A and B are shown apart, each in its own frame.
Chain A
């Protein structure tokens, strides 16, 4: 299963199905190893704090569910399932990751109650920047605008096939990531720890990791369509953090999170793992769209090329 020969072929088409399939596999292979580490560090931390390395808590169980779905993906490739089916499993895996990240906090209970959204959509939307330091609030507004603009520009670049616009889109994401880094550093200094303590902080850190992973993948793929599909996922994570957690001030850590070594290690691996796996959704989705388009009769394709009927 080594991705040696699955390496990205030096093809003219940056979004050829082979290339997208290979990229999805590479992302999932890496994300899966990190997801395994998320479960392992979570178990080690649970042993330390809850005195049981595994207690079928909804959060740890949902991480296991995501792990199992990706196992199906990897074994499906091994037994040479149709690649489209495997791509669908990759999408299902990302859904399981999202369920593990947010869904279980909303619908499940358990010992990870500190990740539960603390307010309704309307209340939280009215308090998007409440409790933040002025500098952090300004930086937050700037990076939100940068990411949103990046998406709009990338969407335009993908529609009009403009390389210059695509470059501007990437620069906007990089600018957003830089601003967000400044915001995270500032909050970390204020809190005396990395911003992993509340649902809002976790969402912002997750989105930051997504931006970094996005820039790396985008550099490899060099296709604005990827940004057009992937950036809404990043914006979705930010929307979750900003709109569902009204209180954004630096708050003291609950007793169960006081061990900073495990908090930093576990959450840092989690945000990188989730970012990689969620972004693999974009490549898997593009693979499905691309293969579907190639299956269409030639006449339909020509209509598409001419801008539709």
Chain B
């Protein structure tokens, strides 16, 4: 009995240079699989932890230890932290390298196998699928060719040694779907980077107090004056229906543009888009009318603060809650401010909404300042539009003073981003649902009257269901399957 041959397996170890290792790692799909979850986990943290707040906020919200961890790991500004940007950069390098690696394969797939290579398959061990049709080869050829053309195949017919051969190719260009998808994501990232470059793009928040002018310092190319800020509400509700800023654009003091910027409609001037971004309150404007009829405007300042839930609320500014009248004898002191007063039993008990729909201020006057004998006068709550008399003065709550924040944008990267978005979608559809296919259909007479042998050699290892259906459809129903050796 012959001894069984002994086989010895040894792992083949090839030494790679560092450059080669780096390149292999960069273009590996496995690298992608490590980077993607890392970005996903980081982004989840970013979605849960409020971003770009002062350190005290995190201490207050999460406690001293966790707050310290959050601020020291950069989780408070996660998306601009170095390690997150490094992760994004690694992904982009991997993306580009993978696309580069796929290029050769895609080109090979695009060209497809040669008719000779396919013909060899017809006689190979993995024999092609084979049918027999009760018709002549020329009749079948016509039908198959027409059917394949109808199914968006490019068809090429040849005749060799009594056999008719049809080479059909479909969606060859789909071979590049994967590369297009990957490069499109790269394009979006490139657009995003371009949109952040200071030289080419602009991303500026312009905050202006009503009546004031935002002085440009070489960013926009023009100054912006806020003529009026408007906040409308749906009738009978506290839900705003419109935020609008009426602005005048100025260059060297001269008007160069005028219009309204709203949330859903930006004002565009000189390539810069001004959109309504947010609003704020700078103060409360009171009008003090003296006995002689002279009017004096008085402003009490408001400032944003956070409530227990971290929501922004508007309250009196500590520095600006006292206003002295011009005669220096009188002063007005505000003790509380409510945006949307809710009254119960004659008392204001809270705010119905976070919008200044029905603002009220708890006011008191101080007299006798010149004589050194202060005397306080409680006025109670003063609503917008109402007046209270104070000695020989009449104090009227004229209005709140709005600030408006407009986002001034000029994004040179936008065309790249949109192009990337369109390409990524198209690329995915192609990648998932279209596959380049080439197959050879050989028609040969079997020798029996009116019978044709139809053999199919696909470009891949096996005939796909879709290909089979296509050929069956093209040959209509007169075919029956058989083995090639009949």
Contact = CB atoms under 8 A, between A and B. Distances in A.
Contacts of A1: 431-432
A79 interface: yes
Interface in B413-453: 414, 417-418, 421, 424-425, 428-429, 431-435
A252 B192 contact: no
Contacts, number: 125
A30 B431 CA distance: 12
Contacts of B234: 252
Given A7-B465, A255-B263, A36 B48 contact: no
B50 A109 contact: yes
B135 interface: no
B13 interface: no
A138 B241 CA distance: 31
Nearest to A33: B428
A190 interface: no
Interface string B51-70: 10000000000000000000
Interface string A42-85: 01100111111110101001101100110110011011000000
A258 interface: yes
A74 to B, nearest CB: 9
A251 interface: yes
Nearest to A81: B33
Given A1-B431, A51-B277, A52-B409, A254 B33 contact: no
Given A2-B434, A252-B234, A62 B407 contact: no
A5 interface: yes
A1 B44 CA distance: 28
A108 B432 contact: no
A78 B432 CA distance: 12
Nearest to B51: A56
Contacts of A37: 425
Nearest to B465: A7
Interface in A1-21: 1-5, 7
A69 B46 contact: no
Contact of B33 (A30, A49, A75): A75
Contacts of B485: none
A58 to B, nearest CB: 4
Nearest to B434: A2
Contacts of A99: 44
Interface in A216-268: 251-252, 254-256, 258-259
Interface in A147-196: none
A104 interface: yes
B417 A53 contact: yes
A4 B36 contact: no
A32 interface: yes
Interface string A204-218: 000000000000000
B33 A62 contact: no
B239 A251 contact: yes
A29 interface: yes
B214 interface: no
A54 B413 CA distance: 12
B273 interface: yes
A40 B425 contact: yes
A4 B465 contact: yes
Interface string B23-35: 0000001101100
Given A2-B432, A40-B421, A68 B277 contact: no
A49 B264 contact: yes
A110 B53 CA distance: 13
B11 interface: no
A99 to B, nearest CB: 8
Contact of A51 (B44, B409, B434): B409
Nearest to B466: A4
Given A33-B432, A258-B264, A51 B407 contact: yes
A3 B37 CA distance: 25
19 contacts: A2-B432, A33-B428, A40-B424, A51-B273, A51-B275, A61-B43, A61-B47, A65-B40, A68-B39, A69-B40, A72-B33, A72-B40, A75-B36, A96-B40, A109-B50, A251-B237, A252-B234, A252-B239, A255-B264
List 10 A-B pairs, minimum CB-CB distance, nearest first.
A51-B275, A58-B47, A68-B40, A252-B234, A2-B435, A51-B407, A61-B47, A40-B421, A4-B464, A56-B79
